[in-house]
Amino acid sequence: MTPELTMTWEPMQERLAPLCLLPPPTGTPWAGVAWEGAGGTIPRRHGDPIVMEMPLFWYDPGWHRVPAMLAGVFAQAVARLGVSVSALHREVTPPGRAPEDGSPLASVHPALRMLPYRPERYGLRLNDFGTADVIDVRLAMVRDEFGRFAYPPAQIKRWEATTDEDPLAGGGWLPAATLPPDVASIDHLASKLDQLRLLAPEAALFVSLGPVRIDEELPRVAAASPDGVVLRLDGFPLDGITLASMTRRARETLTRHASPETALWVVPGPLAPADAVKLIELGANAVAIDTWCDPVLLLATQIRPPSSLSPMTSESSFAGNVEAFVREQLTMPIETFRGYAFSANQVAANDRLGTFDESWARSFDVLYLR
């Protein structure tokens, strides 16, 4: 590993700071707490529930920003920490190597592998369905780095394995869609989900959407009976109280229009470990930690890859170096999350949150700590 390759975690700013994770009441018996961990299960409408090691996931890794070999070993390393990872085989498989020949995504356990099912399906191959634990039908539009609703050339190149001499779109960007072209409207989404259930009978079916028009669109998505919904709140400058209230509102809407068992995963943008626990207490079942993982991925490009010029660096030692780096960088926030989740578990479910702020207390019906 390159010696100067280190990253110091700045104390993360808590977006939900006015909400407090409360200790148990004084006098609560001093006893060890049986805790099965922060994980849980994803109930499925058509099949057995899926066990989730930890309610954290990496929603939208920029795999095209790093070499495919690094992407593959990085995905595995993050998954070994129990974080579910989203990727297509094509995104993490080095050029010239068929995804069928030992894709890194074949072994992301104990975490779950999310299959990003974008409306355009660029880069998607049939074998992507085989190893998916969660299929995420993405209805939320994406922006490229310039703010367009589009995919950048580097991403297209990774997906479609084009060469520099023969780029698609002359090397330009490609516009993004809002709905799979073979779905007549959002009200016909159920048929697409049923198809995906046939293609990947062991996977849970999720639909992602943004917070805009949530009152109109979320009930229509819920009517398609997904196993879960991913709420993308990362593309908007939401303050803490709005982030919390959107999460609470989405949970209530799902309970009303689908069922309380329908999973709600939230992509909040920047957050501290305690924020993730608070979002779960507000109704989320899992929280995206892209802002923890993204900078580590970019920094890992400094780890020397195996090459013919450096015979001392084999693929396995490269993978080992990447895994050690990932563990070093992500253990602290993940362990902090686990610590807060563990302590929250020591308090009765309805008494875990409180606030000294009257407006927050009113908004979320939590204990007002006057």
Partner 1 sequence: MAEPIVLSLKKLGDAGARKAIARIPVPEGEESPMPEVQLRGLSGQLGALMRLDHPVRIEAEGDLGDYAFAFNAQADVRLNGSVGHGVGEGMIGGAVRIRGDAGHGAGASMTGGTLAIYGSAGPRCGAAMRGGGIFVRGDVGEETGVGALRGTIVIGGDAGANLGDAVNNVTIFIRGRAESLADGVTEAPLRKREQLRLGLMLINASIRGDAKEFRRIVPVAMLEAEQAKRGEVVPNWR
Residues that bind partner 1 (CB under 8 A): 119-122, 124, 126, 160, 167-175, 177, 180-184, 188, 191-192, 194-195, 198-199
State in angstroms the smallest separation of the CB of 70 from partner 1: 26
Q: Which string of DSSP letters, residue by residue, matches 122-166?
A: TT--GGGGTT-SEEEEE-S----TTS-SEE-HHHHHHHHT--SSS
281-294 core/surface letters (b: 16 or more CB in 10 A; e: else) = bbbbbbbbbbebbe
Cα separation of 102 and 352, whole Å? 45
Q: Using the 8-state DSSP alphabet, how is residue 116 labeled?
A: E
State in angstroms the smallest separation of the CB of 87 from partner 1: 18
State in angstroms the smallest separation of the CB of 367 from partner 1: 49
Q: Which is nearer to partner 1, 29 or 181 (CB)?
A: 181
Q: Which is nearer to partner 1, 122 or 342 (CB)?
A: 122
State in angstroms the smallest separation of the CB of 127 from partner 1: 10
Q: Which is nearer to partner 1, 180 or 228 (CB)?
A: 180
Cα separation of 330 and 326, whole Å? 6
Comparing CA positions, the residue from 95, 8, 123, 112 lying closest to residue 59 is: 112
**Beta-ladder partners of 329:** none
Count of alpha carbons within 13 Å of 331, Cβ hemisphere only?
6
State in angstroms the smallest separation of the CB of 169 from partner 1: 5
Q: Which is nearer to partner 1, 178 or 317 (CB)?
A: 178
Can you read off the two tokens belonging to residue 111?
């975490």
State in angstroms the smallest separation of the CB of 224 from partner 1: 13
Helices (H) and strands (E) in the chain, counts: 10, 15
Comparing CA positions, the residue from 348, 337, 349 lying closest to residue 39 is: 337
Q: Which is nearer to partner 1, 169 or 369 (CB)?
A: 169
State in angstroms the smallest separation of the CB of 128 from partner 1: 10
Cα separation of 60 and 58, whole Å? 6
| CA dihedral for 144, 238, 330, 85, sign (positive or negative) | negative
State in angstroms the smallest separation of the CB of 120 from partner 1: 4
Can you read off the two tokens belonging to residue 351?
């008494």
State in angstroms the smallest separation of the CB of 185 from partner 1: 9
Q: Which is nearer to partner 1, 144 or 261 (CB)?
A: 144
Q: Which is nearer to partner 1, 135 or 183 (CB)?
A: 183
Cα separation of 208 and 224, whole Å? 13
Q: Which is nearer to partner 1, 175 or 260 (CB)?
A: 175
Q: Which is nearer to partner 1, 17 or 124 (CB)?
A: 124
**Beta-ladder partners of 161:** none
